[in-house]
């Protein structure tokens, strides 16, 4: 029996910027929380400029997967290589990778005691040792790019959810990362604010940023993803370009998942 | 099909009913909102009627301040402030020689003036002052030594004044300020240590905190004064005041540590993750992201601790130091001033109230200043 899915509407496909240079490599990665096997034999290669959307049921290990890439979580088996640097206990490697990889969280995680501008300049000044003036200039550039330069002197608590998430994106970009990780960046937003954040991410994709995005926004996946990855119970079950993924899912678990999120 | 769109006219704003605004509104809502509330209000008025006038009579209207012996006060029915007036210098400075007291005045004046730009960093007057960081470093790390030299003397031709001559409010302030200033950084380190992943550090911090908190300050002071010399080699003499200062600092650090740990627990995990994901090291993450928020969250608790510490300094009388309370007590046992202890204690109470209330008001000011969200 073959089911037909109504693939999400596409407006305009963002041109692919994929190159043939490997930027992230996960080789047979396994991770446990206590005795719970949360990631199972993960193999994933990400090219520079590639945009990957990760989806799957809640608890399937999507967050854990991307959090292993900047070592917010430690894996126990296998290798993770980011930009040629292997993630291990060496703290210098860790510092190097965290400066290369930006991360945007579901709950924004802006620093509430600092202004928007200070949020954006904190890491450039203290990690990259950038002079304050230069850091502020760069911060204003990215705040302009996410279309909220006028909020620079406000505190995060004074902004809407959508604005906060755009600040969080600008804050990550200020470190000039090679890779951006997004963990359900729109899940905590009121519906009317989702598009302003997605638009910002589409812009970023159009500039050729390497992105791994955990999201259930299938419209976004269809528009920008080079590849959609479906995870279930700690495994990568299926990966394919969006057209193929939505129109021709191979595994029944993918089909079930798609039917659940696409037909409400 | 007819194309009609209903045009909605927004309702204009109206004033709220009279019983909700203004003086009348406030009285209606806060004093007379229910029969019980009316009863409590009446009870309050009766209480004030019977307590305030006699108190004011004693404190001010029937009180005596002119003259210089207790005979000036006989038969007035009011307070005899003559006692406090004559002994005022001793209450402030203890037995510090009067011709050397300028050293204390100058040092505290410098401290006071130096603290203003830091305490009110945001006010118009100090906003343009660029050297706040340098000033803070000076006050924290250099000034204490300068103050020590000024008070003790023995340099620049200033005669030595032994710590046994220090006393009164001067001594109280030294102990309180040392305790307050030392307890904050120590408390931060202990709180971080207690949450550390390193078992040895963690156990040491827990051990220290729990041990100190389980013992009354008076015992710690007594041990510092009586026990420590027993363990020191013969001839090594460790100043009694210094021992008291260390005891008070360590004691208050243990309490601050627990308050600060409470603040640390209130910081969401996401703050650590965001900081770590940007490449901030442990100390930068703590110093720039976590601690500022944690400390801000526990300002009321920390200041409560400081107020408690300020009052606990009076316990140094157990090791024979003459803080302001002890010196007042001693003075009121002088036969010349016999029977005037109440005046002495009332004066001390007012003095303590001024300092403690000041701290509490500053903490409220600070909370408002640092409030950054809705
Ligand atoms: N720190 C943790 N300790 C123990 N179990 C965890 C922890 N974090 C996540 N898990 C479990 O691991 C599984 C995968 O979590 P997660 O990666 O957050 O899933 P997803 O992001 O796909 O919803 C879930 O079952 C979750 O309960
Ligand atoms: Mg998740």
Return the ligand 1 atom nearest residue A65 CA: 17
For chain A, the C-alpha Rg in angstroms (whole number) is 18
How is residue A175 written in tokens? 């470190």
Mean pLDDT in residue range A125-144: 94
Q: Encode burial over B283-293: b for 16+ CB neighbours within 10 A, e otherwise.
A: ebbbebbbbbb
Alpha helices of chain A — where are they, by DSSP H? Answer: 62-69, 91-100, 116-126, 132-145, 161-173, 191-206, 218-224, 242-247, 252-262
Residue B370 in this model has a pLDDT that exceeds 70: yes
B38 has pLDDT over 70: yes
* Dist CA B214 CA B225 (whole Å): 19
Task: Tell me what ipTM this predicted complex has.
Answer: 0.91
pLDDT at A187 over 80: yes
pLDDT above 50 for B311: yes
Cα(B373)–Cα(A242) distance, rounded to whole angstroms? 41
Residues A115-141, mean pLDDT to the nearest whole number: 95
A10 pLDDT higher than 70: no
Residues B351 and B92: their CA atoms lie apart, in Å, by 11
What is the pLDDT, as a whole number, of residue A6?
54
Range in A106-110, A236-240, B207-211, B370-374 with the lowest mean pLDDT: B370-374
pLDDT number for residue A9: 52
Q: Does A176 touch chain B (CB under 8 A)?
A: no
Cα dihedral A107, A108, A109, A114 sign: negative
Please give the full DSSP string across B31-70, using - where no structure is assigned: TSSSHHHHHHHHHHHHHHHHHHHHHHIIIIIT-B-SSSSG
Question: Which of B273, B280, B374 comes nearest A123 by C-beta?
Answer: B280
Q: Tell me how far the alpha carbon of residue A189 lies from the centroid of ligand 1, in angstroms.
A: 21
Task: Give the end-to-end CA distance of chain B in Å, rounded to a whole number.
Answer: 48
What's the CA-to-centroid distance between A64 and ligand 2, angstroms? Answer: 7
Copy the structure tokens of residue B152.
């003790």
| C-beta atoms of B279 and A175 within 8 A | yes
Query: What does DSSP assign to residue A17?
Result: -
Q: What percent of chain A has pLDDT over 90?
A: 74
| DSSP calls for A140-198 | HHHHHHTT-GGGTTS-GGGS-HHHHHHHHHHHHHTT--SEEEEESTTTTS-HHHHHHHH
What are the structure tokens assigned to B9, written together?
Answer: 């006219």
Enter the tokens of residue A51. Answer: 């945009």
Q: How confident is the model at residue B7 (pLDDT cuts 50, 70, 90)?
A: confident
Mean local confidence (pLDDT), A119-129: 94
Backbone angles phi and psi of A136, in degrees to 5: -70, -35
Q: How confident is the model at residue B201 (pLDDT cuts 50, 70, 90)?
A: very high
The residue length of chain B stands at 374
Kindly determine whether residue A155 and residue B278, on different chains, have CB atoms separated by under 8 Å.
no
pLDDT digits (tens, 9 = 90+) for A18-58: 888 899 999 999 999 999 999 999 999 999 999 999 999 99
Q: Which band of pLDDT confidence, cut at 50, 70 and 90, is reported for residue A2?
A: very low
The DSSP-derived string for A25-82 is EEEEEEEEETTEEEEEEEEEEEETT-EEEEE-STTSSHHHHHHHHTTSS--SEEEEEE
Kindly state whether B24 is in contact with chain A, defined as any CB-CB distance less than 8 angstroms. Answer: no
A-interface mutation test, from B272, B275, B278, most A Cβ less than 10 A away: B278
pLDDT at A229 over 90: yes
Helix (H, G, I), strand (E, B) or coil at A205: helix
Chain B environment of A109 (Cβ under 8 Å): 268, 270-271, 273-274
User: What is the average pLDDT across A187-195?
Assistant: 90
What is the model's pLDDT at position A27? 93
Q: Across residues A191-195, what is the average pLDDT?
A: 90
Q: Provide the Cα torsion B240, B244, B246, B250; round to 10°.
A: 160
Task: Provide mean pLDDT across the span B49-65.
Answer: 84
pLDDT tens-digit readout, A81-102? 998 888 877 777 888 889 899 9
Give per-residue pLDDT as tens, B329-366. 888 888 877 777 888 898 899 999 999 999 999 999 98
Q: Which residue has the higher pLDDT, B69 or B87?
A: B87
B369 contact A CB<8A: no
**Tokens 């005596």, residue?**
B64
Closest CA to A222 of A191, A246, A198, A248: A246
The DSSP call for residue B290 is I
For residue A1, pLDDT beyond 60: no
Cβ contacts of A206 within 8 Å, gap of 6 or more: A14, A15
Average pLDDT over residues A248-253: 90
Coil vs helix vs strand at A33: strand
Q: From the list B268, B278, B370, which residue is nearest A123 (CB)?
A: B278
Residues with CB under 6 A from ligand 1: A 33, 36, 38, 56, 58-64
Cross-sheet strand order for the sheet of A77-82: A36-47, A22-33, A77-82, A85-86
Residue A230's Cβ-side half-sphere holds a number of Cα atoms within 13 Å equal to 22
- The Cα of A9 is separated from the nearest Cα of chain B by a number of Å equal to 31
- Secondary structure element (H or E) that encloses residue A24, with its range: strand A22-33
d(CA A176, CA A168): 13
Neighbour count for residue B362 (Cβ, 10 Å): 14
- For atom 13 of ligand 1, the residue with the nearest CA is A59
How many CB atoms are located within 10 Å of the residue B260 CB? 29
Which pLDDT score, from 0 to 100, does residue B31 have?
82
| Closest ligand 1 atom, residue A183 Cα | 21
Q: What is the CATH number of domain B87-96+161-369?
A: 1.10.3720.10
pLDDT in tens, B89-125: 888 888 888 888 888 889 999 999 989 888 888 888 8
What ranges do the domains of chain B cover?
17-61, 87-96+161-369
Q: Does B371 touch chain A (CB under 8 A)?
A: no
Q: What is the pLDDT of residue B33?
A: 81
The 10 Å Cβ neighbour count of residue B29 is 13
Taking an 8 Å cut-off on Cβ atoms, the answer to whether A98 and B289 are in contact is no
Residue with CA nearest ligand 1 atom 6: A33
Q: Rounded mean pLDDT of A217-236?
A: 92
Percentage of chain B with pLDDT > 70?
A: 97
pLDDT reported for residue B287:
93
Are the CB atoms for A163 and A148 separated by under 8 Å?
A: yes
Task: Report which ligand 1 atom has the smallest distance to the Cα of A57.
Answer: 22
Q: Say if CB A37 and CB A30 are below 8 A apart.
A: yes
Q: How far is A183 from chain B (nearest CA, A)?
A: 12
Maximum alpha-carbon separation in chain B: 109
Write the burial class of residue A210 (CB in 10 Å: 0-12 exposed, 13-18 middle, 19+ buried).
buried
């Amino acid at each position: 029996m073959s089911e037909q899915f109504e693939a999400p509407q596409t407006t305009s496909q963002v041109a692919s910027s994929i190159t043939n240079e490997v930027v992230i490599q996960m080789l047979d990665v396994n991770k446990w929380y206590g005795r719970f096997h949360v990631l199972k034999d993960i193999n994933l290669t990400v090219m520079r400029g590639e945009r990957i959307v990760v989806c799957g049921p809640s608890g399937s290990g999507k967050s854990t997967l991307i959090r292993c890439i900047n070592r917010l979580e430690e894996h126990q088996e296998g290798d993770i290589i980011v930009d040629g640097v292997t993630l291990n206990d060496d703290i210098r490697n860790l510092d190097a990778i965290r400066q290369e990889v930006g991360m945007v969280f579901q709950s924004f995680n802006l620093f509430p005691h600092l202004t928007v501008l200070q949020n954006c300049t904190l890491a450039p000044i203290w990690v990259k040792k950038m002079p304050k003036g230069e850091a502020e200039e760069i911060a204003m550039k990215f705040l302009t790019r996410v279309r909220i330069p006028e909020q620079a002197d406000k505190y995060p608590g004074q902004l809407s959810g959508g604005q906060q998430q755009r600040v969080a994106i600008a804050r990550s970009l200020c470190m000039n990362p090679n890779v951006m990780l997004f963990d359900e960046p729109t899940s905590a937003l009121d519906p009317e604010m989702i598009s302003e954040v997605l638009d910002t991410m589409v812009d970023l994709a159009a500039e050729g940023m390497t992105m791994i995005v955990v999201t259930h926004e299938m419209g976004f996946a269809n528009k920008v993803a080079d590849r959609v990855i479906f995870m279930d119970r700690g495994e990568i079950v299926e990966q394919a370009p969006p057209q193929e993924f939505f129109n021709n899912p191979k595994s029944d678990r993918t089909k079930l998942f798609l039917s659940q999120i696409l037909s409400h | 099909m007819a194309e009609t769109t209903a045009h909605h006219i927004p309702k204009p704003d109206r004033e709220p009913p009279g019983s909700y605004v203004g003086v009348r509104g406030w009285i209606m809502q806060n004093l007379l909102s229910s029969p019980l509330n009316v009863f409590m209000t009446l009870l309050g008025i009766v209480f004030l009627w019977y307590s305030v006038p006699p108190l004011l009579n004693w404190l001010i209207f029937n009180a005596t301040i002119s003259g210089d012996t207790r005979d000036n006060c006989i038969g007035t029915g009011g307070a005899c402030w003559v006692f406090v007036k004559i002994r005022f210098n001793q209450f402030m400075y203890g037995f510090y020689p009067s011709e050397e007291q300028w050293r204390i005045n100058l040092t505290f004046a410098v401290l006071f003036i130096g603290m203003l730009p830091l305490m009110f960093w945001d006010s118009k007057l100090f906003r343009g002052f660029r050297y706040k960081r340098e000033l803070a470093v000076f006050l924290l790390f250099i000034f204490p030594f300068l103050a020590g030299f000024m008070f003790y003397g023995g340099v620049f031709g200033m005669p030595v004044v032994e710590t046994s001559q220090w006393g009164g409010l001067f001594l109280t302030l030294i102990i309180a300020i040392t305790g307050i200033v030392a307890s904050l950084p120590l408390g931060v380190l202990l709180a971080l240590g207690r949450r550390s992943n390193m078992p040895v550090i963690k156990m040491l911090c827990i051990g220290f905190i729990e041990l100190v908190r389980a013992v009354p300050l008076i015992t710690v002071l007594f041990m510092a004064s009586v026990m420590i010399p027993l363990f020191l080699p013969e001839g090594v003499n460790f100043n009694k005041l210094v021992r008291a200062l260390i005891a008070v600092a360590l004691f208050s650090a243990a309490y601050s540590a627990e308050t600060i740990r409470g603040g640390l627990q209130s910081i969401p995990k996401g703050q650590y993750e965001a900081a770590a994901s940007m490449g901030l090291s442990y100390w930068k993450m703590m110093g720039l992201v976590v601690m500022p928020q944690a400390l801000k969250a526990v300002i009321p608790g920390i200041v409560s601790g400081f107020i408690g510490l300020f009052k606990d300094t009076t316990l140094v009388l157990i090791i024979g130091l003459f803080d302001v309370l002890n010196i007042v007590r001693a003075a009121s046992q002088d036969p010349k001033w016999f029977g005037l202890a109440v005046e002495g204690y009332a004066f001390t109470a007012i003095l303590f109230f001024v300092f403690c209330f000041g701290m509490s008001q500053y903490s409220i000011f600070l909370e408002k200043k640092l409030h950054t969200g809705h």
